[in-house]
């Protein structure tokens, strides 16, 4: 049994009776129409976005302000709607994989893995052990790069520029590894139903091992820079608070949910890819504010490094083991065999022209993505194309509680709260 | 006792049938009792499906087959999943009770199902389109009778986009907050009030 606690040993100058940092927004507590209250008597409408760097994409927020206090926040989404779910209904299962790259484009490999798992659940395919380890590596690499983007951009939103450069430097190292593996930096299309597009190339393991050794040092530096920084604490502690029960009621997931003290991680509670056999901790916060979300994401990067280390050990043990399942109906034969062997050519032709039919039924597969629980729900009528491909988008559902989080906050806190949700519009709008 | 038999015991004929697909338990329930059943599943000891993972809908390729509204539930304490489905006859009204009063997280999910499938959720406080814009007139994109490229021609779509007026980006509610509604010209106000935003004849 692993421990699941996150230490919150921090003294702030003003704490309320529950030990929570206090903060009273301007305008709260004054009565409306008070002649002394000249500012903020009339509500004001402020529009942020869709073209605004601090909204992290094409999110548009309409805020009703009284003075500097947010009375109401009305988010508008859909500017990046691409109809992926509809497109998926016209594609073979393997052809959907490139679409998943473009949903949560900050962690494309994790999306690829989720899609492959969902379809394999639908078709009842058992993947090989080496494939499982490779997918764990892909998921955890994605978690690190996604959290690094979050860390850098949130730092910039709150006025800290240096950690942005550090985190993007580290992210670049993972991107180089990703590029050597998949040939792409964003449109990875890494997995296939029943296996992977490719095994890791030569030198990948050594590169990733080196990353795992030096990366925690950068995290330590970020920790030094942020965790006890008075400005950072002042901007994040007690801001955007959501409690335990409410977080569940709002269907939050991922770091957003765990920051509110709910101990739910899909990797632990509904294990897939053999996550139950890895030794790692799930950080859980207690205050449910921006600061706890930051602590959790920071800790998750340390834990991902731990998982990567263990996965690399397993990968070395499984050297030379098959990656793909040996079912010629599901996995394309190598091109050389398709050109020389009659049977292989037939399988190749049938797969490319007709696709791989899935049995009648439906499957929901949820995985722990960097943003939260990503779920792919497939309904099949027995043909090679799904009747329905539903994405359960974690950042869409997390963003839905933004109006609740922003109520009574200051205008400048809206930027911080929005950053702390960790949204990616490609996934929200799909 | 599985959730299906417990439901059968508590609600009888309101549970239409249950099945297992790929290891997931699915229960079809009657539309009129669905809200009670979902509330029961959330609050009853031994069930405790307190986490609403997802709400979505499925329109099958067979036009005779009813459209299904799908609720993915999860019990965080018991680590159990349940899928509840409501079958809606496409000839009848596509209407179900909103579960916003049970789960706040249903807000945007129900709006999305409304937007993409045209299912109305009774009791939802703010049932507007969410991914498509308010004045979108081509229908509900994820329905099977909706062609992949939409009902309008590309030229018509472009014409409408270019003809959209800037006020179309704000709802009447928002314009009222800004006290800008009263300052608009008379004809624009009339058009907005009639819900004609974004389209110019």
Tell me: pLDDT of A33 over 70.
Answer: no
A301-314 burial: b if 16+ Cβ within 10 Å, else e:
bbbbbbbbbbbbeb
Report the alpha-carbon distance of residue A225 to residue B75 in Å, rounded: 39
- Same domain? For B36 and B99 the reply is yes
> Nearest CB to B174: which of A74, A121, A122?
A74
Tell me: pLDDT of B197 over 60.
Answer: no
Looking at the structure of chain B, the number of domains it has is 2
Residue A42 lies in a domain: no
- Same domain? For B126 and B156 the reply is no
Residue B144 lies in a domain: no
Residue B77 lies in a domain: yes
**What pLDDT is recorded for position B173?**
66
CATH of the domain at A187: 1.10.645.10
Task: Give B76-81 contacts, CB < 8 A, sequence gap 24+.
Answer: B76/A248, B76/A262, B76/A264, B76/A269, B76/B48, B76/B50, B76/B51, B77/B48, B77/B50, B78/B48, B79/A269, B79/A270, B80/B3, B80/B49, B81/A270, B81/A364, B81/B24, B81/B25, B81/B53
Residue B143 lies in a domain: no
Tell me: pLDDT of A37 over 60.
Answer: no
Least confident of A384-388, B66-70, B166-170: B166-170
> Nearest CB to A397: which of B108, B129, B141?
B108
**What pLDDT is recorded for position A87?**
92
Q: Which of B56, B114, B145 to mutate to test the interface with A (most CBs of A within 10 A)?
A: B56
CB–CB contact A121 B59 (8 Å)? no
Lookup result for tokens 């006859």 = B89
- Same domain? For B34 and B96 the reply is yes
Q: How far is A203 from chain B (nearest CA, A)?
A: 39
Residue B166 lies in a domain: yes
Q: Chain A 258-317, CB below 8 Å of chain B: which residues?
A: 262, 264, 269-270
Residue A11 lies in a domain: no
Give the confidence band of B201 by pLDDT, cuts at 50, 70, 90. Answer: very low
**What pLDDT is recorded for position A86?**
93
Lookup result for tokens 């916060």 = A285
Q: Chain B 40-79, CB below 8 Å of chain A: which residues?
A: 50-54, 56, 58-62, 70, 72, 76, 79
Residue A343 lies in a domain: yes
- Same domain? For B13 and B101 the reply is yes
Tell me: pLDDT of A134 over 70.
Answer: yes
- Same domain? For B115 and B71 the reply is yes
Average pLDDT over residues B179-194: 70
Q: Are A374 and A422 in contact, with CB atoms under 8 Å apart?
A: no
Lookup result for tokens 């593996």 = A181
Q: Sign of dihedral through CA atoms A275, A277, A283, A284?
A: positive
**What pLDDT is recorded for position A206?**
93
Give the confidence band of B198 by pLDDT, cuts at 50, 70, 90. Answer: very low
Residue B146 lies in a domain: no
Q: Residue A249: give the domain boundaries.
A: 84-429
CB contact A77 to B (< 8 Å): yes
Tens-digit pLDDT profile for residues A415-428 = 999 999 988 998 99
Report the alpha-carbon distance of residue B172 to residue B181 in Å, rounded: 7
- Same domain? For B123 and B159 the reply is no
**What pLDDT is recorded for position B168?**
62
**What pLDDT is recorded for position A29?**
44
Residue A109 lies in a domain: yes
Q: What is each CA distance from A271 to A100, A234, A267, A407, B79, in whole angstroms?
A: 22, 37, 5, 36, 11
CB–CB contact A401 B22 (8 Å)? no
CA-based radius of gyration for chain A = 23
Of the three residues B109, B137, B165, the one that is the final residue of a domain is B137
Residue B119 lies in a domain: yes
Q: Residue B90: give the domain boundaries.
A: 3-137
Residue A30 lies in a domain: no
Least confident of A25-29, A147-151, A328-332: A25-29
CB pairs A-B closer than 8 Å:
118
* Closest residue by Cα to residue A117 from A426, A381, A369: A369
CB contact B108 to A (< 8 Å): yes
Residue B142 lies in a domain: no
H or E stretch including A49?
none
Q: How far is A73 from chain B (nearest CA, A)?
A: 10
Q: How far is A176 from chain B (nearest CA, A)?
A: 35
Tokens representing residue B174 in the block: 């928002």
Q: Provide the mean pLDDT of chain A.
A: 86
Q: Where are the beta strands (DSSP E) in B22-154?
A: 24-29, 51-58, 67-75, 80-88, 95-97, 120-122
Residue A292 lies in a domain: yes
Closest B-chain CA to A118 = B22
- Same domain? For B31 and B123 the reply is yes
CATH of the domain at B67: 3.30.460.80
* Closest residue by Cα to residue B53 from B66, B77, B72, B34: B72
Residue A68 lies in a domain: no
Tens-digit pLDDT profile for residues B111-142 = 999 999 999 999 888 888 889 887 788 889 99
- Same domain? For B105 and B162 the reply is no
**What pLDDT is recorded for position B1?**
55
Lookup result for tokens 């730092």 = A155
Report the alpha-carbon distance of residue A253 to residue A285 in Å, rounded: 13
Chain B positions touching A44 (Cβ under 8 A) are 178
- Same domain? For B98 and B159 the reply is no
> Nearest CB to A62: which of B130, B131, B174?
B174
Tell me: pLDDT of B149 over 70.
Answer: yes
Looking at the structure of chain A, the number of domains it has is 1
**What pLDDT is recorded for position A26?**
38
Q: How far is B97 from chain A (nearest CA, A)?
A: 18
CB contact A87 to B (< 8 Å): yes
**What pLDDT is recorded for position A71?**
85
- Same domain? For B122 and B199 the reply is no
**What pLDDT is recorded for position B172?**
65
- Same domain? For B133 and B176 the reply is no
Report the alpha-carbon distance of residue B93 to residue A180 in Å, rounded: 54
Residue A377's beta-bridge partner residues? A364, A390
Residue B173 lies in a domain: yes
- Same domain? For B122 and B165 the reply is no
Closest A-chain CA to B76 = A264
Q: How far is A193 from chain B (nearest CA, A)?
A: 16
Closest B-chain CA to A399 = B108
């Amino acid at each position: 049994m692993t421990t699941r606690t996150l230490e919150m040993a921090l003294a702030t100058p003003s704490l309320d009776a529950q030990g929570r940092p206090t903060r009273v927004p301007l305008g709260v507590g004054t009565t409306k129409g008070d002649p002394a209250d000249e500012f903020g008597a009339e509500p004001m409408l402020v529009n942020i976005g869709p073209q605004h760097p601090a909204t992290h994409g094409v999110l548009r927020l309409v805020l009703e302000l009284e003075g500097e206090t947010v009375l109401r926040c009305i988010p508008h989404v859909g500017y990046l709607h691409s109809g992926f779910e509809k497109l998926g209904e016209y594609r073979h299962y393997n052809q959907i994989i490139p679409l998943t790259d473009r949903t949560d484009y900050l962690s494309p490999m994790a999306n690829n893995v989720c899609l492959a798992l969902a379809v394999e659940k639908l078709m009842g395919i058992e993947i090989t052990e080496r494939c499982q380890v490779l997918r764990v590596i892909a998921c955890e690499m994605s978690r690190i790069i996604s959290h690094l983007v979050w860390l850098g951009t949130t730092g910039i939103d709150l006025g800290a520029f240096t950690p942005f450069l550090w985190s993007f430097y580290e992210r670049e190292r993972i991107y180089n590894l990703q590029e050597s593996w998949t040939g792409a930096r964003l449109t990875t299309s890494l997995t296939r139903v029943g296996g992977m597009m490719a095994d890791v190339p030569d030198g990948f393991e050594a590169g990733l091992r080196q990353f795992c050794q030096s990366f925690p040092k950068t995290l330590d530096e970020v920790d030094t820079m942020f965790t006890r920084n008075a400005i950072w604490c002042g901007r994040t502690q007690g801001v955007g608070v959501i409690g335990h029960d409410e977080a569940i009621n709002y269907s939050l997931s991922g770091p957003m949910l765990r920051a509110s003290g709910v101990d739910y991680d899909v990797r632990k509670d509904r294990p897939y890819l053999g996550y139950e056999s890895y030794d790692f901790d799930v950080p859980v916060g207690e205050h449910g504010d921006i600061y706890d979300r930051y602590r959790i994401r920071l800790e998750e990067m340390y834990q991902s490094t731990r998982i990567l280390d263990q996965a690399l050990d397993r990968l070395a043990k499984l050297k030379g083991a098959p990656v793909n399942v040996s079912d010629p109906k599901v996995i394309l034969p190598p091109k050389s065999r398709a050109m020389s062997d009659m049977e292989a050519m037939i399988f190749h032709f049938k797969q490319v022209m007709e696709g791989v039919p899935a049995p009648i039924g439906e499957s929901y597969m949820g995985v722990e993505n960097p943003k939260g629980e990503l779920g792919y729900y497939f309904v099949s009528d027995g043909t090679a194309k799904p009747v329905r491909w539903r994405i359960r988008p974690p950042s869409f559902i997390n963003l839905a509680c933004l109006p609740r989080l922003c109520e009574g906050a200051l205008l400048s806190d809206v930027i911080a709260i929005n950053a702390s949700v960790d949204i990616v519009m490609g996934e929200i709008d799909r | 006792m599985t959730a299906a038999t417990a439901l059968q015991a508590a609600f009888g004929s309101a549970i239409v049938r249950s099945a297992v697909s790929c290891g997931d338990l699915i229960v079809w329930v009657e539309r009129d009792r669905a809200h009670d059943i979902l509330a029961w599943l959330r609050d009853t000891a031994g069930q405790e499906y307190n986490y609403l993972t997802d709400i979505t809908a499925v329109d099958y390729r067979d036009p005779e087959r009813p459209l299904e509204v799908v609720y993915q539930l999860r019990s965080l304490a018991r680590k159990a999943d349940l899928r509840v489905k409501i079958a809606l006859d496409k000839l009848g009204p596509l209407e179900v009770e909103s579960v916003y009063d049970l789960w706040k997280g249903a807000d945007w999910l129900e709006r999305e199902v409304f937007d993409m499938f045209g299912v109305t959720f009774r009791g939802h406080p703010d049932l507007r389109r969410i991914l498509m814009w308010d004045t979108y007139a081509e229908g509900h994109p994820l329905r099977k009778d909706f062609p992949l490229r939409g009902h309008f021609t590309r030229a018509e779509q472009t014409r409408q986009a270019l003809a959209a007026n800037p006020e179309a980006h704000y709802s009447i509610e928002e314009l009222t907050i800004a006290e800008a509604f009263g300052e608009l010209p008379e004809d624009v106000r009339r058009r907005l009030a009639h819900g004609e935003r974004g389209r110019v004849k």
